[in-house]
Amino acid sequence: MPDKTAGFLAWPRALRDTIRRYRLDERISGRIHEAFTEEERSSAALAFRIRTAALCGLAVMFFLLQPELTQLYYVGIILLLVLFGAIHDRLRRSALYRPWQSYVFVTLNVLTVAHALLLPNPLSDKTYPIQMALRAETFPFFYLFLAFTALSYAPGRVLWTGFVTALVWGATVIAISFRSDSIVYFGLRTNPNLDLAGYLDSHFVDLLQQTIQILLFLIVTVTMAVGVWRTRRLVRKQVEAARERANLARYFSPDMATELAKMDEPFGEVRSQNAAVLFADIVGFTTLAENRAPEKVIMMLREFHGLMADVVFRHDGTLDKYIGDCVMATFGTPWPRPDDASRALGCARDMVREVEKWSAQRAARGEALIRIGVGLHYGPVVLGDIGDERRLEFAVIGDTVNVAARLEALTRKLNVAVVASQELVDAVIGQGGAPEVGLPDFRPGEPQPIRGRGEPVNVWVLPRAA
């Protein structure tokens, strides 16, 4: 009979797994959102600089075209707009910023520009009917602010700019049209007897032309909002690609990470190939950890891992994983190269040297000395993605990995810094020549029994510094 209990428990497990996947997706989306927010801040800062430069250019142009004191009014309006931009930029950089504040500043900008374009200059002694303001062809100034807003990567803000502009300008046009002295025209059907004198009258209002102008502005607004949305989607994809490259850089050298990022399936199918495997860990780590505060142990591990990662990447290796104080690296994954064994051996040698330097620095600070043991082996490995749909991990497994780990453990027994298998040495010699050329500081050791191997393994060792 079917196990009803197992079927009953499957639902809570499925729900738990769904929640875990949701939380993982949420964390990934959160990191993408943070990166995208940074892109928005950068774009907003660029928009502020362009906007300020353009407005200052307009102020200079006004004075050059009409060098009169009355132009100080419009210069003041421009300076007010620059001030709005500076306050908005400063607020956006602070912890007090909220997205709705940007919409407030858009509204202030539109109202200020409409006020300057439609109302008479208080510094001028010349007076004109207010209807003349609608015939001055000043509406295109709003396109300038629409373009500034488009640099924000915020399609909603672009739409808001267009909506507020159409609302403010449209309401003003309607208010002027309802004045008793206005001569309103909305096509021949509404005013078939309009003559040239009426058209040239200073109180004439071409309501049809204003309506078309507003509709065109709204069409351009929607078009720009769609363009901003598409640009935003493209930038989001770039941010995701940058995050993926950053994830690759955790395991591979920068050059290899860049190449892998260009490929659709960088790791390919699960396969077997030859590779050099390296294990390195801290000698006596348990004793070191027992006598120190947890935060100091973590800081020490971070320093150690960072140091080892730098050396691995310097030799174009792959950082497979950290296992506590142990570091596993491979050479020849995801693709084999003719000098994999030589690079692995050089990496082991440099690891020992770098840790000796680091240990000397620690000793100068009154901290405990650090020594490491490194094991190396060369042979066939199986590599590919392992896991399930919730989590995949690129892994290298096989007997070569097991032997490398056990050779690293032999460094304690033999009291040496590095233990390399004869297979790895043979590969090095095959790539470079005689042992004295490729292995100047290594010496052959006694054959060592290895758990899981019927016969002792021939090894080469690098003695510790005196």
pLDDT in tens, 32-56: 566 566 666 777 777 778 888 888 8
pLDDT tier at 190 (50, 70, 90 boundaries)? low
Rounded to whole angstroms, how far apart are CA atoms 279 and 295?
25
Contacts by 34-42, CB closer than 8 A, 24 or more apart: 35/239, 35/242, 35/243, 36/235, 36/236, 36/239, 39/153, 39/235, 39/239, 40/152, 40/153, 40/154, 41/92, 41/93
Tell whether the model's pLDDT for residue 300 goes beyond 50: yes
Rounded to whole angstroms, how far apart are CA atoms 390 and 23?
11
* HEC string for 185-219: ECCCCCCCCCCHHHHHCCCEEEHHHHHHHHHHHHH
Strands 318-323 and 443-444: unpaired
**Domains located in the chain, CATH noted:** 4-246 (no CATH), 266-463 (3.30.70.1230)
Kindly report the average pLDDT of the chain as a whole number: 79
pLDDT tier at 128 (50, 70, 90 boundaries)? confident
Instruction: Concatenate the DSSP letters of all residues of 380-440 into one string.
Output: EEEEEEEEETTEEEEEEESHHHHHHHHHHHHHHHHTEEEEEEHHHHHHHHHHH-SHHHH-T
Token readout for 52 is 């300020």
Percent of the chain with pLDDT over 90: 21
Q: Give the mean pLDDT of 141-153.
A: 83
* pLDDT computed for residue 1 by the predictor: 46
Rounded to whole angstroms, how far apart are CA atoms 4 and 239?
47
- SS3 of residue 29 by DSSP: helix
pLDDT tier at 349 (50, 70, 90 boundaries)? very high
Instruction: Please state the φ and ψ torsions of residue 146, each to the nearest 5 degrees.
Output: -65, -40
Tell whether the model's pLDDT for residue 267 goes beyond 60: no
* pLDDT computed for residue 386 by the predictor: 65
Range 379-400 burial, b when 16+ CB lie within 10 A, else e: bebbbbeeeeeeeeebbbeeeb
* pLDDT computed for residue 294 by the predictor: 83
- SS3 of residue 269 by DSSP: coil
What residues does 329 pair with on adjacent strands? 278, 319
Residue 210 C-alpha from the chain's centroid: 45
Tell whether the model's pLDDT for residue 237 goes beyond 60: yes
Tell whether the model's pLDDT for residue 254 goes beyond 60: no
Tell whether the model's pLDDT for residue 23 goes beyond 50: no
Tell whether the model's pLDDT for residue 394 goes beyond 70: no
Rounded to whole angstroms, how far apart are CA atoms 406 and 402?
6
Residue 26 C-alpha from the chain's centroid: 16
- SS3 of residue 266 by DSSP: coil
* pLDDT computed for residue 464 by the predictor: 85
- SS3 of residue 372 by DSSP: strand
What is the pTM assigned to this prediction?
Answer: 0.51
CA-based end-to-end distance of the chain: 70
CB distance 348 to 312 below 8 Å: no
Tell whether the model's pLDDT for residue 250 goes beyond 70: no
